Amino acid sequence: MSGEQEPPGMQDTPAPISWEALAAELAATREADGGGADSGTWDAVAAELAARVADQPVDEPPVPQPPVAEPADEPPAQDPTPPDVPAGEPAREEPAEEPLELLGPEELRGGIEALLFVMADPVDEATLAAALHCGVEQVREGLADLVEGYDQRRAGITLRRVGEGWRLYTRDEHAGVVERYLVDGQRSRLTQAALETLAVIAYRQPVTRARISAIRGVGVDGVMRTLLGRGLVHEVGSDPDSGGGLYATTPLFLERLGLTGLADLPELAPLLPETSTMLDEHPDS
């Protein structure tokens, strides 16, 4: 029906082409014209066909799209506050390392010499550098200068490397002097003060220095150093009440006196003065 309107959406959409119907239509047209159609007729038919083909939607093959990579799992957000810092408190900064000092030659040699003097065991270069707040290379230079200086002036001491550390030694050429001093010191007679202190220790051992001083009435620090150096007494522990060191005699003490044990020590009673004599000498006591 010519008066009816086409539904919306159908006006602009041409009917799909049936290629079989089109071929049949062309054959019928040629038969109707008796095969004598002029070129203008066929041009008109070709133009109409081209127009109909141009209006047809062309089903283009889908363009392959590259696969879209799925987003990787994001790591969990890091908490800017360290775990050991309580919430609400600012993070504490680590203290910066102290810068190394550049010591002068004299200050470096003096510091190394002082440290070696007070340390009984060999000291390595890293320990010396840490104590002096300087670099290890600077310590090595200072050690080399000390060795050279001792050798040049033929000092009584020398600096030697022992294992991984350094230590001060007496020079070999002075060994005779050192040996003579040590031997003669051991053979020298004890003073009266040393003998009295040794007697107190022998009969009251173990005993503290404070107790020895109280019995003798004088300080005994110097005498105790002598007895310890001779090897006649030694420290055997500490007093549980005062915390002071407890001292007793050594086997060398028994050997020097010709005793087999402390039980061989003579009785003190016969050696003590009479009470009347003590009163006569000390009437105010």
Residues 6+ apart with CB under 8 A from 164: 122, 124
Q: Do residue 218 and residue 277 come from a single domain? A: yes
Q: Do residue 194 and residue 266 come from a single domain? A: yes
Q: Do residue 169 and residue 196 come from a single domain? A: no
Q: Do residue 226 and residue 259 come from a single domain? A: yes
Residues 6+ apart with CB under 8 A from 109: 142, 145, 146, 149
Q: Which of 125, 140, 173 is the last residue of a domain?
A: 173
Tokens of 227: 């007895």
Using CA of residue 238, residue 244, residue 249, residue 252, what is the dihedral sign?
A: positive
Nearest partner of 197 among 239, 226, 170, 169, judged by Cα: 226
Q: Do residue 208 and residue 265 come from a single domain? A: yes
Instruction: List, in sequence order, every residue forming a beta bridge with 205; answer none if it has no partner.
Output: none
Q: Do residue 268 and residue 209 come from a single domain? A: yes
Nearest partner of 143 among 173, 181, 116, judged by Cα: 116
In a domain, 226, yes or no: yes
User: Which residue shows structure tokens 């010591």?
Assistant: 103
> What are the pLDDT digits (tens) for 129-177?
999 999 999 999 999 999 999 999 999 999 998 888 999 988 989 888 8
In a domain, 27, yes or no: no
Residues 6+ apart with CB under 8 A from 50: none
Q: Do residue 276 and residue 227 come from a single domain? A: yes
- Provide the 3-class DSSP secondary structure of residue 208: strand
In a domain, 10, yes or no: no
In a domain, 18, yes or no: no
In a domain, 181, yes or no: no
Supply the range of the domain harboring residue 141. 105-173
Q: Do residue 236 and residue 161 come from a single domain? A: no
Q: Which of 140, 173, 206 is the last residue of a domain?
A: 173
Q: Do residue 197 and residue 169 come from a single domain? A: no
pLDDT in tens for each of the 285 residues of the chain?
444 454 444 455 555 556 666 667 766 766 666 555 555 666 676 666 666 655 555 455 555 565 555 555 555 555 555 555 555 555 565 555 566 777 888 899 999 999 998 887 889 999 999 999 999 999 999 999 999 999 999 999 999 988 889 999 889 898 888 888 766 666 668 889 999 999 999 999 999 999 999 999 899 988 999 899 888 999 998 988 888 899 999 998 988 888 888 888 888 766 665 655 555 555 555
User: In the chain, what is the greatest distance between 2 CA atoms, to the nearest angstrom?
Assistant: 181
How many structural domains compose the chain?
A: 2
In a domain, 68, yes or no: no
Nearest partner of 233 among 208, 213, 258, judged by Cα: 208
In a domain, 148, yes or no: yes
Q: Do residue 169 and residue 198 come from a single domain? A: no
Alpha-carbon distances of 133 from 128, 147, 164, 202, 283, rounded to whole Å: 8, 21, 20, 49, 65
Instruction: List, in sequence order, every residue forming a beta bridge with 245; answer none if it has no partner.
Output: 238
End-to-end CA distance of the chain: 159
> What are the pLDDT digits (tens) for 73-83?
555 555 555 55
Q: Do residue 166 and residue 204 come from a single domain? A: no
Q: Do residue 134 and residue 213 come from a single domain? A: no
Q: Is 227 exposed, middle or buried (0-12, 13-18, 19+ CB in 10 A)?
A: buried
Q: Which of 173, 204, 221 is the last residue of a domain?
A: 173
Sequential DSSP letters for 99-160: PPP---HHHHHHHHHHHHHH-SS-B-HHHHHHHHTS-HHHHHHHHHHHHHHHHHTT-SEEEE
pTM of the model: 0.39
Q: Domain with 113 in it: what CATH number?
A: 1.10.10.10
**pLDDT at residue number 146:** 93
Using CA of residue 202, residue 204, residue 205, residue 209, what is the dihedral sign?
A: negative
In a domain, 33, yes or no: no
**pLDDT at residue number 92:** 61
